[in-house]
């Protein structure tokens, strides 16, 4: 079992036992869409989906209603239920010039509000766009995933062209992209799983930094026992130093190098001494 070979620093809190994750497939879906959205909010993820939505309704909800909901509901819930702490913001100070034109943040995908945690850590009011698993946009949380900055990963080649055009547009404006390179969410999982190449391909294409973030866990204690089950850990998000792409190397070599470096830095921030998964998928 992959989880069983994990070795960490003595102070690392591991919230769930290995047999919670009885699989050797790091991309097995463990989170399902539980409830469908109303029929009027059912989308097709082809070239007809508004990947770069400039409609008045979308802009109002994305730029005004959505941020108010994040600040006064989701951020509060994240702080109370999960006791979110942020570490490592200082690692970005020396890179302000390089980050001015945007960046690609990467993070392990381990709980419901992980995208919100990255947003809180990097800059609460920053525009961040997030490629997401398309079926969630037809589920009961369609409003949240859409207006938090989610963009569905398309199901057709026509959709993929529109998807790419949308991210070209957002990057040209100096906005940020958040990708979960582990691809699927495994709640409260400790090891760092192998990384898909999408985030690093984007960083190479746009010649912008990769900002590695990693979520780690703390035991639920004190007042936080009032806001969540003892089986749900408290969360800390750690921000690492940016990784700069080297465009003098081939795309394949540089994408693989950035994947490995990001994986190693995230292991270090998570206190992992021996990680059971490789940096790259076993292909």
Find the CATH number of the domain harbouring 90: 3.40.1130
Structural domain that includes position 111: 50-273
Of the CA atoms within 13 Å of residue 188, those in its CB half-sphere come to: 18
- Under-70 pLDDT residues of the chain: 1-3, 124-125, 282-283
**pLDDT at residue 135, rounded to an integer:** 94
Give the total number of structural domains in the chain.
1
Quote the pLDDT of residue 283.
57
92 found inside a domain: yes
Q: Is residue 105 part of a domain?
A: yes
Is there a domain that residue 31 lies in? no
Alpha-helix residue ranges (DSSP H) falling in 56-197: 56-60, 66-69, 75-82, 96-99, 114-122, 142-147, 157-172
Does a structural domain hold residue 55? Answer: yes
DSSP H or E segment with residue 233: none
Predicted local distance difference test score (pLDDT) of residue 147: 92
Question: Is residue 213, in this structure, part of any structural domain at all?
Answer: yes
pLDDT score for 125: 55
Domain-located, residue 254:
yes
Nearest residue to 211 via CA among 258, 271, 173, 251: 258
Q: Does residue 19 fall inside a structural domain? A: no
Task: Output DSSP code: residue 10.
Answer: T
Can you give the pLDDT at residue 258?
Answer: 98
pLDDT at 178: 97
Q: Is residue 4 part of a domain?
A: no
Angle of the 251-269 helix axis to the 198-206 helix axis, nearest 10: 120
Q: What is the pLDDT of residue 35?
A: 84
């Amino acid at each position: 079992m992959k989880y069983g070979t994990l070795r960490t620093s003595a102070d690392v809190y591991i919230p769930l036992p290995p047999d919670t994750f009885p699989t050797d497939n790091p991309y097995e879906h463990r989170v399902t869409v539980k409830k469908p959205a109303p029929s009027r909010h059912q989308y097709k993820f082809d070239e007809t989906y508004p990947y770069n939505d400039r409609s008045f309704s979308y802009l109002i909800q994305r730029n005004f209603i959505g941020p108010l909901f994040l600040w006064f509901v989701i951020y509060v819930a994240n702080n109370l239920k999960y006791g979110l702490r942020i570490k490592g913001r200082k690692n970005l100070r020396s890179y302000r010039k390089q980050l001015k034109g945007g960046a690609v943040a990467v993070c392990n995908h381990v709980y419901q509000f992980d995208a919100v945690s990255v947003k809180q850590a990097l800059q609460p009011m920053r525009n961040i766009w997030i490629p997401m698993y398309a079926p969630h946009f037809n589920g009961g949380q369609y409003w949240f995933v859409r207006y938090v900055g989610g963009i569905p990963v398309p199901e057709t080649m026509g959709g993929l062209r529109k998807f790419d055009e949308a991210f070209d547009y957002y990057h040209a404006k100096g906005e940020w992209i958040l990708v979960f390179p582990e691809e699927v969410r495994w709640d409260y999982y400790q090891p760092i799983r192998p990384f898909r190449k999408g985030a690093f391909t984007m960083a190479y294409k746009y010649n912008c930094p990769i900002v590695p973030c990693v979520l780690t866990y703390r035991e639920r204690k004190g007042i936080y026992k009032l806001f969540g089950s003892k089986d749900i850990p408290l969360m800390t998000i750690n921000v690492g130093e940016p990784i700069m792409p080297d465009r003098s190397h081939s795309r394949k070599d540089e994408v693989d190098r950035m994947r490995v470096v990001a994986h190693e830095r995230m292991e270090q921030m998570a206190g992992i001494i021996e990680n059971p998964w490789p940096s790259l998928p076993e292909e």
